[in-house]
Amino acid sequence: MARVFEGFYAGGSWKRTAKTFQDLNPANDQVWADVADADVNDVRATIQSAQDAFPAWAELPFTERAAYMLKIADEIEKRQGDLVAAIQGEGGGWFGKGMFEAGYVAGVFRAAAALSYAPIGEVMPSEHGKVSMAVRRPMGVVTVISPWNFPALLTARGFAFPLVAGNTIVLKPSEETPYSGGIFFAEVMEAVGLPAGVFNVVTCSRENIAAIGDELIENPLVKGISFTGSTAVGRMVAAKAGAHLKKCCVELGGKDSLIVCEDADLDKAAQAANFGSFMHQGQICMSVEKVLVNEKIYDTFLAKFVERAAKLKMGDPTTDKSNIIGPLINNKQAAQVKAQLEDALAKGAKAVLGGNINGRFVEPTILTGVTPDMLIYQNETFGPVVPVIPFRTDDEAVAIANDTEYGLSSGVMTGDEKRGLEIASKLETGISHVNCSSVNDEPHIPFGGSKASGVGRHGGRWSMETFTETRWITLDRGGRHFPPMF
């Protein structure tokens, strides 16, 4: 039976809308929930609620804001079962993925609480004897536009640090995951007694996204924007924010490589490739989308990789917890993956594993013979299809890895850490991991990419830098003299 939510959450209460939209389970097309479909007027009123709440929230002692973060973390843990069920039911996620995500989210708020006790500025020297300070202050209303693939994790990371810094939040989750990326957090904030208007959630259907997205960026009361999603949409968000001289942090797509050197532990490398390529059906911005393998161990590695991937069970994750490969999120995403796969096969690539597509279910697929003229070499796939490409030298591996407009994450597998660091230093990515998969995250680290993978960093003090204003304040003690003619 479909869930029915009371409305969207604004100013500390639930607001009903004239229309609702259906939130579907991507595994079976059943209606998972009926959700409030807000319009532009609803969003304007919500932004005003956040603005009204800002002064009191910003003036609250940092210790009290930190205490709220800890209460939020505890409440999330109490509701872990609800969140996991939503991650599976509306997002198509594997049970293990849901458990990881739910556990991670609580940690985001504890990291935010801890950061409240960190320095918020510095005292600088002054040749005039002033007490010269650079300090950080909250901006005001920050809007958060979050994605569907890791809806709870990426939403929490987008707003927890701006919130604890003293900003107020208006969140719009993806229409694919309105509960796990939005309504869930509204329920948590209401339960812990967060002051009215400090945190708000507006949900809307795909038909209203364009108008509401513009309002969330261009409304004069909005001072900062946090966006996680596709590069195409991120370019538009950043351009519109820039036109209004607003600060924004956009975390976008990736075409990430895992480089396997001939001296690597091949069992560990095969596991890293398997996890990195097929976790959540490859629907992760930092998924391994190219496995680059030294030609000396190519055949041995490929056999180990295929053997591991062949054991991944595919099916509806809501009916069987052992189904690791669930559905892609929607038909559009499945069509994109199918187009890339068919293009590669038509141009000479071979599927040494998988290759079959049934609706939104795509088998874990490993390709060989992939060349630069193929779509799957050039474009972000966001699905469980990955090429394995040989290389001769480390420089060649770096060149292949960098041969993309994206620059989010990367991994290097080698028995020589010095060699791994040398390779990592040449990769044009915001993130790189030696002897681990490209898929890595922690709440307090600087998460983000270069090139077309984004601008700015989420996480820890780097979020604080983005979503606060730096001010220079001095105290003059008689050392600065004015010219006598004045």
Q: Which residue has the tokens 């995250």?
A: 441
Alpha-carbon 3 to chain mean position: 26
Decide if 400 contacts 426 (C-beta within 8 A).
no
Q: How far is CA 163 from CA 114, 461, 467, in A?
A: 13, 13, 9
CA dihedral of residues 30, 31, 32, 35 (deg, nearest 10): 160
In angstroms, what CA-CA distances link 30 with 92, 182, 329, 361? 12, 20, 13, 16
DSSP 121-149: EEEE--TT--EEEEEEEE-SEEEEE--SS
- List the catalytic residue out of 175, 215, 251, 380: 251
Distances (CA, A) of 397 to 55, 260, 387, 478: 52, 9, 14, 62
List C-alpha distances in Å: 49 to 54, 191, 423: 9, 19, 50
| CB atoms inside a 10 Å sphere around CB 211 | 13
Query: Quick check: 66 and 164 in contact, CB under 8 A?
Result: yes
Helix (H) or strand (E) segment spanning residue 468? strand 468-475
Which residues fall within 8 angstroms of residue 63, CB to CB, at 6 or more apart?
116
Asked if 218 is an active-site residue, the reply is no
Query: Using DSSP, how many helices (H) and how many strands (E) does the chain show?
Result: 15, 25
The pairs formed by 357-362 with CB atoms below 8 angstroms and a separation of 24 or more are 359/327, 359/334, 360/26, 360/27, 360/92, 360/327, 360/328, 360/329, 360/330, 360/331, 360/333, 360/334, 361/314, 361/315, 361/325, 361/326, 361/327, 361/328, 362/281, 362/325, 362/328, 362/334, 362/337, 362/338
Active site residue 285: yes
- Report the alpha-carbon distance of residue 86 to residue 79 in Å, rounded: 11
Tokens of 87: 């991650």
**What are the phi and psi torsion angles at 175 (to 5°)?**
-70, -15
- The burial class, CB within 10 Å (0-12 / 13-18 / 19+), for 90 is buried
Catalytic entry in 75, 204, 285, 289:
285
What is the Cα–Cα distance from 456 to 226, expressed in whole angstroms? 10
Please check whether residue 27 is in contact with residue 57, taking contact to mean a CB–CB distance below 8 angstroms.
Answer: no
Catalytic positions: 251, 285
